[in-house]
Amino acid sequence: MIFLREYLIMLTESAILMFEFVGVGIMIIAGARGIYNYIRRDPHTRLNLSRGMAMALEFKLGGEILRTVIVHDFSEILIIGGIIILRAALAFMIHWAIKNEEH
């Protein structure tokens, strides 16, 4: 049983790092494209940047949800729950901004 627990922790931590890495990568790429499109005066800059931020936030949120698998204390669960709530609220606001920008 200890082996399975250690394997689960290792697998979960690897997946969390992957999700976090992909989220940060998407954010960097979206930011760089946003700067480039802003300089070009592209009218869709804000919409494209918002979409990139929303996608990055989804990956980061996935990492936080996975993090709940390996927590040990109730205080850690509360902290992760707060982070999840904040990221979900941000994702909701970004999706709302995207919907308004599309119209």
- What pTM does this model have? 0.84
pLDDT above 90 covers a percentage of the chain that reads 72
User: CA dist 12 to 2, 22, 32, 59, 77, Å?
Assistant: 15, 15, 30, 14, 16
Alpha-carbon span 56 to 17, nearest angstrom: 14
pLDDT band at 7 (very low <50, low <70, confident <90, very high): very high
The confidence score (pLDDT) of residue 102 equals 83
Q: Where are the domains of the chain?
A: 2-102
